[in-house]
């Protein structure tokens, strides 16, 4: 496992054989499994909830990286913690009391992350950075897999990396999500990202191991 984590997003998997899909990326060298939860309100799409995630959890040793694209995420934190989440990430834009939600996640023994949309500045997480394990910089507008990477987000990744260095927060992970493939992975890593979510770039290919290897090789 390198210092750069690859987190395939099951949003792009074949839901009819989810267990096999998860096993395939685990064999293929994934570091985390990214679980995209959408509510049809915060984002214009619906996926799955803690029941489906709880069905996957016993099938894999991969840490489950839960990305909540939902309103009132605090109402679902206990259920996702119970279902086996390793990290729970909530959107800054969805939380009026962000500090409280972060601490709720941690009280459940789960690592806490905050995501920011492309239009949200890094300053939205500045005051809570000390409480976080991860910041997720959205590199597309959330809601769908297979969208094009937004190059303007690189500046925010750099800003966050600089802040992380200045504060000495070595433990803080910088995750990127959306449009990550062999062409964009080196750009985000150069900017400071160390967790790469990849949906289409992994599950859109018949050979998932080769797809993960290609992502890693693009970083050499
Ligand atoms: C987008 C989701 C992403 C998505 C990424 O709203 O949060 O995790 O699955 O998909 P790709 O890698 O295909 O852009
Ligand atoms: Zn995601």
Q: What percentage of the chain has pLDDT greater than the value 70?
A: 99
- Tens digits of residue pLDDT in 52-104: 999 999 999 999 999 999 999 999 999 999 999 999 999 999 999 999 999 99
Please tell me the total count of domains within the chain.
1
12: containing domain: 5-217
Report the complex ipTM.
Answer: 0.99
Mutate to test the pocket of ligand 1, among 140, 183, 195, 205 (most ligand atoms within 8 A of CB): 140
Ligand 1 centre distance from Cα of residue 198 (Å)? 7
- pLDDT of residue 2 exceeding 90, the answer is no
CB count within 10 Å of CB 159 equals 16
User: From the CB of 142, is ligand 1 less than 6 Å away?
Assistant: yes
Residue 125: name the closest of 166, 171, 163 by CA.
163
* SS3 (DSSP) at 192: coil
The protein residue whose alpha carbon is closest to atom 1 in ligand 1 is 142
- Across 20-41, average pLDDT: 98
User: What local confidence, expressed as pLDDT, does residue 34 receive?
Assistant: 99
Q: Is 31 a catalytic residue?
A: no
- Model-level pTM? 0.98
Distance, CA of 76 to CA of 151 (rounded, Å): 32
Q: Which residues are annotated as a binding site?
A: 9, 34, 36, 67, 143-146, 177-179
* SS3 (DSSP) at 151: helix
- Tens digits of residue pLDDT in 184-206: 999 999 999 999 999 999 999 99
Q: Is 39 a catalytic residue?
A: no
User: What are the CA-CA distances from residue 12 to residues 16, 49, 127 (Å)?
Assistant: 12, 16, 34
- Tens digits of residue pLDDT in 127-153: 999 999 999 999 999 999 999 999 999
Ligand 2 centre distance from Cα of residue 10 (Å)? 9
Half-sphere CA count of 202, side-chain side, radius 13 A: 34
Average pLDDT, the chain: 98
User: From the CB of 178, is ligand 1 less than 6 Å away?
Assistant: yes
- When pLDDT is cut at 50, 70 and 90, the band that residue 1 belongs to is very low
Can you give the CATH number for the domain in which 106 is found?
3.20.20.70
Distance, CA of 162 to CA of 34 (rounded, Å): 25
The residues placing their C-beta within 5 Å of ligand 2, an ion, are 36, 67, 177
Q: What percentage of the chain has pLDDT greater than the value 90?
A: 99
């Amino acid at each position: 496992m390198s210092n750069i984590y690859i987190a395939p997003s099951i949003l792009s998997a074949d839901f009819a054989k989810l267990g096999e899909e998860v096993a395939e990326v685990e064999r293929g060298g994934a570091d985390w499994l990214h679980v995209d939860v959408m509510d049809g309100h915060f984002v214009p799409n619906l996926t799955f909830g803690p029941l489906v995630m709880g069905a996957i959890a016993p099938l894999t040793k991969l840490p489950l990286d839960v990305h909540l694209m939902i309103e009132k995420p605090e109402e679902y934190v206990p259920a996702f913690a119970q279902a086996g989440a390793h990290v729970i990430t909530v959107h800054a834009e969805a939380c009026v009391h962000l500090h409280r939600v972060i601490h709720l996640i941690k009280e459940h023994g789960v690592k806490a992350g905050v995501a920011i949309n492309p239009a949200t500045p890094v300053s939205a997480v500045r005051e809570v950075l000390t409480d976080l394990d991860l910041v997720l910089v959205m590199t597309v507008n959330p809601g769908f897999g297979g969208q094009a990477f937004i190059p303007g987000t690189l500046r925010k990744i750099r800003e966050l990396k600089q802040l992380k260095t200045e504060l000495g927060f070595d433990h803080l992970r910088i995750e990127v999500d959306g449009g990550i493939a062999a062409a964009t992975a080196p750009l985000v890593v150069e900017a400071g990202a160390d967790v790469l979510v990849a949906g289409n770039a992994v599950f859109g290919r018949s050979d998932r191991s080769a797809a993960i290897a290609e992502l890693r090789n693009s970083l050499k």
